[in-house]
Amino acid sequence: MAAFAHSAPCWADVQLSDLEAGKRFYGGLFGWTFRAGDGMPFADALSGGRLVAALAAKKDGRMPTAWGVYFATDDIRATVAAIREHGGQIITDPVRAGQAGIVAQAADPGGAVFGLWQPEEREGFEKQNEPGSFCWTEVHTRRPQEVDPFYEKVFGFRGTDLDEAGNDVSDDTEALVDFRMWSPEGAEPGPDSAVGGRSVITDAFPAEMPSYFLTYFAVADCDAAAELAVQLGGRVSAPPFDIPYGRMAVLHDDQGALFAVLQPSELLP
């Protein structure tokens, strides 16, 4: 497994009420196979024999049924301190996950929850940016004025603001900007180096909708994936549509967890 740079998305998991039903849904949708977690209430998901995610049984029914994303850190306690310093909250203090690594959960100033992962025996994804694996994440928030500097200070992200056509508009202060891409510290900011993004929840959505991270998985055929998700008991939140980087859809699994699928531009006919 290749090591992940500090602040890179390195893992994703979903909390479900029915673990076996989750295996059937995601196995049918992405072709994943599963490896039991040594008697623990979770299962590693594999695509082509390589780790891509995990499914976990919720310990408490009050927990949200949701996908979570984890960012790599080489010093989890220092990152936790930075989160607190810059207006975030720590939900779960760092705890050892066996010999795999150290994990913590936090929330940004807008309330979006994310994880931290300091690797030991497990680095994270063994496959990404290929069909059946993680390819992108973005936070959806109503408070970009607070959230943008938070991620830039905590993770060292450098932002690139884009217009609806995916063009860099950072030099155009009059442009209506509602999406920002994040590039790691030390990289030239822009789409080619971006590891995640920030979108704004507008007033078109219900006021009670919380901030959240949306996790994307690459697929070979977006339209077919959306249709198959419905056949497997899920539902479509946003039907397939074209974006500058491919064709995407936003889906719910058969237990309500939200995620997105993306057919990258190079896979479009």
Per-residue pLDDT of the chain (269 residues), as tens digits, is: 347 888 999 999 999 999 999 999 999 999 999 997 555 578 999 999 999 999 999 987 778 899 999 999 999 999 999 999 999 999 999 999 888 999 999 999 999 999 999 999 999 999 999 999 999 999 999 999 999 999 999 999 999 997 654 555 555 444 445 899 999 988 899 988 999 999 999 877 777 788 999 999 999 999 999 999 999 999 999 999 999 899 999 999 999 999 999 999 887 66
Q: Measure the CA–CA gap between 218 and 134, rounded to whole angstroms.
A: 6
Q: Report which DSSP code applies to 212.
A: E
Which of helix, strand or coil describes residue 134?
strand
Kind and range of the H or E run holding 76: helix 76-85
Return the pLDDT at 59: 82
Q: Measure the CA–CA gap between 214 and 138, rounded to whole angstroms.
A: 5
Indicate the residue type of 203: D
Return the pLDDT at 172: 47
What are the residues facing 85 on neighbouring strands? none
Which of helix, strand or coil describes residue 263?
strand
Pairing of strands 258-264, 212-218: parallel
Kind and range of the H or E run holding 236: strand 235-243
Q: Kindly report the CA angle at 69 between 177 and 47, in degrees rounded to 5?
A: 115
Q: Report which DSSP code applies to 156.
A: -
Q: Are 180 and 198 in contact (CB under 8 A)?
A: yes
**Number of residues written out for the chain:** 269
Surface-to-core class of residue 268, CB atoms within 10 Å of its CB (0-12 exposed, 13-18 middle, 19+ buried): exposed
Task: Quote the radius of gyration of the chain (alpha carbons, Å).
Answer: 18
Q: Measure the CA–CA gap between 178 and 199, rounded to whole angstroms.
A: 6
Q: Nearest CA to 82 among 59, 55, 109? A: 109
- Cβ-proximal residues to 151 (8 Å cutoff; 6+ apart), any chain: 108, 139, 157, 182, 198
Put simply, whether the predicted model's pTM sits higher than 0.85 gets the answer: yes
Q: Nearest CA to 182 among 201, 200, 199, 165? A: 199
- Taking the C-alpha atoms of 212, 217, 223 and 226 in order, what is their torsion angle to the nearest 10 degrees? -60
Q: Are 216 and 136 in contact (CB under 8 A)?
A: yes
Q: Nearest CA to 185 among 145, 154, 213, 230? A: 154
Q: Nearest CA to 195 among 146, 127, 128, 240? A: 128
